[in-house]
Amino acid sequence: MNKLIIPLVACIACAIIVSVTAVSVRPEQNLNIENEKKIKILAAAGIETDKVDEEFSRIKTVFVDFETDKLVTIDPAYDHIKAASNPNLSTVIPKADDIAVLKRRENIGTIYVWVDEKNAIEKLVLPIRGYGLWGTLYGYLSLDSDLNTVRGIEYYDHKETPGLGGEVDNPNWKSDWYGKRIYNDDGSVALYVTKGASSTDYEIDGISGATLTTNGVSNMIKYWLGDNGYGPIIKNLNEEIEKI
């Protein structure tokens, strides 16, 4: 019995040290995650800077009620990703509409808008997410002041295979998004990732060996920019932004 006391005490002491360390570094980890997201939001809009907080302070973070398609004022600490898995703050997406395989959509979304001194929109960033091959890809899509031309795309979290679906992070592929158009003349989402090289303003270059991931990318663009996502608010954003 005596022989067991020392290893037992050592085990308990180690467990306590590991737990205390894990808890004490958590705030810093959360801060790093937040900072990383801010860097990606800025990168989607074509901004690379060391002064992340300073640049971020120029952005209006606004909240979209997907039910009314109006901007609403809520607690700035609101986290739309957490809300999406909370049954009280999200809605089940009917299967037929769930082209991005999300299952639930938050009732209130978050978007990031740059405005000039007259409150005119200069550009914006929309969070997007959807299933690829191995899991959900989380990212941001940025649009120009016409709310139709793409400025950039960035993913901050995904499980796709490096060298295949993971090429969504390749700067060459991302650069093909710049200047592409989302909506065609009848207002429907026309942008998608093609197979092979793109040849129109509504096409993005395919990624070879990664058709399943890129189908997921096309589907999440269609969902989030469409009628069940940001589509309706985008059409009213100039008027809505003046109210807040």
Ligand X SMILES: Cc1cc2nc3c(=O)[nH]c(=O)nc-3n(C[C@H](O)[C@H](O)[C@H](O)COP(=O)(O)O)c2cc1C
Binding region for ligand X (CB under 6 A): 133-134, 160-161, 164-165, 208-213
- Which residues, other chains included, contact 188 with Cβ-Cβ below 8 Å and sequence gap of 6+? 226
- Residues facing residue 142 across a β-bridge: 125, 152
Rounded Cα distance between 112 and 62, Å, is: 6
Contact 120, 239 (CB under 8 A): no
The nearest distance, CB 160 to ligand X, in angstroms, is 4
For 114, phi then psi, to 5°, come to: -100, 130
The nearest distance, CB 212 to ligand X, in angstroms, is 3
The nearest distance, CB 170 to ligand X, in angstroms, is 13
Residue number with CB closer to ligand X (63 or 156):
156
Rounded Cα distance between 213 and 216, Å, is: 5
Residue number with CB closer to ligand X (98 or 167):
167
Three-state DSSP class for 217? Answer: helix
The nearest distance, CB 165 to ligand X, in angstroms, is 3
The nearest distance, CB 39 to ligand X, in angstroms, is 24
| DSSP-based helix, strand, coil % in the chain, nearest 5 | 40, 25, 40
Residue number with CB closer to ligand X (170 or 208):
208
Which candidate, 211, 221, 101, places its Cα nearest to that of 167? 211
Rounded Cα distance between 109 and 127, Å, is: 8
Q: Which residues of 171-188 are buried (b: 16+ CB within 10 A; e: fewer)?
A: eebbebbeebbbbeeeee
Residue number with CB closer to ligand X (194 or 238):
194
Rounded Cα distance between 57 and 238, Å, is: 20
The nearest distance, CB 169 to ligand X, in angstroms, is 12
The nearest distance, CB 138 to ligand X, in angstroms, is 15
Which position's Cβ is nearest ligand X? 165
